[in-house]
Amino acid sequence: MVLETDQERTEHFNRMSLKFSEFYKGKTMVIPKVPINNLGSFSYWYTPGIAAVSTHISKDIESSFELTGRWNSVAILTDGTRVLGLGNVGPEAAMAVMEGKALIFNYLGGVNAVPIPIRTKTKEEFITVARALEPSFGGYNLEDIESPKCFFILEQLQKDLSIPAWHDDQLGTASIILAGLINALRVVGKKIEDSRIVLFGSGAANIAAAHLLMAAGFKASNLIIADSKGILHPEREDMDTLMLNNPWKYKLAMLTNGERREGPSEESFQGADVIISAARPGPDTIKPEWIKNMNSDPIIFALANPVPEIWPNVAKEAGARVIATGRGDFPNQINNSLIFPGVFRGVLDARSRGVNFKIMVKASYEIANFVKDPSEDRIVPTMENWELYPQVASAVARATVDEGLARRNNSTEGFYKIAREIIEENRKAYRKLVDGDIIKKLPEMD
């Protein structure tokens, strides 16, 4: 089958996803990881022997990370209010995406991730559920929660919990944006401290990206945020509302846009070096003529899913030098899958209590530096570069030690050995399931 247009290819992937999902009825499963030889095995895996494990943990809560699977378990929590580019589709519909996330966690990071869509209406209800589930997990991956609710939830959970809370739409997207941007600037020969960056769209991803870019050395005065109401600046008419309802965005209005530029969002392109777009999906969201107003060798990250804000070939014709999207069927996929499996492998191996921007900057540089000779069509690795994940994990694990967040101490090399072994063993087990036809082959497409 020859798929001639970007839209035809997108529709083909949609049909495949529906057919395969109906065939497999879920992407992950839970199976025992211990030997069960006979009835006597249950005497120590369950009753009566297991009472000794419970008694031990009741006297030393931290030992739950050593005596149970908590050390390698992550909950993927969502309320389904902001799923991909689809919006509020509800927790049941969100399950399909969360299962995909769990699949990637396990395959690339060796992490046991459990998808848990929850039916909550308020941020307070969500936080209550998350607090209640904490004893079961070594970390939380928050996913697909509408803005600004997601900011409140993440901030509160990071204060309340003794395990890492990570919102992938904020922190994961920001980290891989930074990794890609580091190499894109290397390709065009521009410096971090001199580059003018436009964050086109002001949802969870770009607000987090703005904070991470500043933590990485980008000047706040060189950042401009633009949304459906235009360029963000301190005198914009909605500042009082933002101060009450979205203090994170309000803070950025005060910190960024050193020139105090005003006007509609398209005017932010004038004189920009980089556009990082996390805006409305659709190939006409960014106009080619806007790109022509940018500085020489412009960089365009069009990250909306499932359809980018401008098709890459159109951006290239308009003069863009480096173009990235969120899709794997184009070069330069800026996708969270390159960051979260390694990050969680690292925080779990270190038994970390949290994660912060310093750790994320280190993870981003680890990803960027993995690409030895970045080019216009290769600024980030791909998910096939599985060696990336233990490297990110070891850098993250060591960074949690340096930040005083780790329960376990080790060198970068020691953490690398741990991560590599876990990921390799997990991949071997999966391969045996496939080779033994225990995992069924893909069905034929009609």
Backbone torsion region of residue 164, taken as left when φ is above 0, otherwise alpha when ψ lies between -120 and 50, otherwise beta: beta
Q: How many residues does the chain have?
A: 446
Residue type, 358: K
Tell me which DSSP letter residue 441 carries.
P
The closest of 425, 321, 414 to 375, measured between CA atoms, is: 321
Q: Are strands 223-227 and 230-231 parallel, antiparallel or unpaired?
A: antiparallel
Cα distance between residue 98 and residue 80, in whole Å: 10
pLDDT at position 84: 77
Query: Residues 24, 33, 44, 46: which is the catalytic one?
Result: 46
Residues of the chain under the 50 pLDDT cut: none
Q: Are strands 274-277 and 197-200 parallel, antiparallel or unpaired?
A: parallel
How much is the CA Rg of the chain, to the nearest whole Å? Answer: 22
Q: Is 46 a catalytic residue?
A: yes
Residues β-bridged to residue 324: 301
pLDDT at position 60: 96
CATH topology of 28-170 equal to that of 177-325? Answer: yes
Q: Domain-by-domain residue ranges, the chain?
A: 28-170, 177-325, 337-435
**What is the CATH superfamily name and number for domain 177-325?**
NAD(P)-binding Rossmann-like Domain (3.40.50.720)
Query: Residues 25, 27, 33, 101: which is the catalytic one?
Result: 101
pTM of the shown model: 0.91
Query: Are 139 and 347 contacting, i.e. CB atoms less than 8 angstroms apart?
Result: yes
Q: Is 149 a catalytic residue?
A: no
pLDDT at position 4: 64
pLDDT at position 3: 54
**What is the CATH superfamily name and number for domain 28-170?**
Malic enzyme, N-terminal domain (3.40.50.10380)
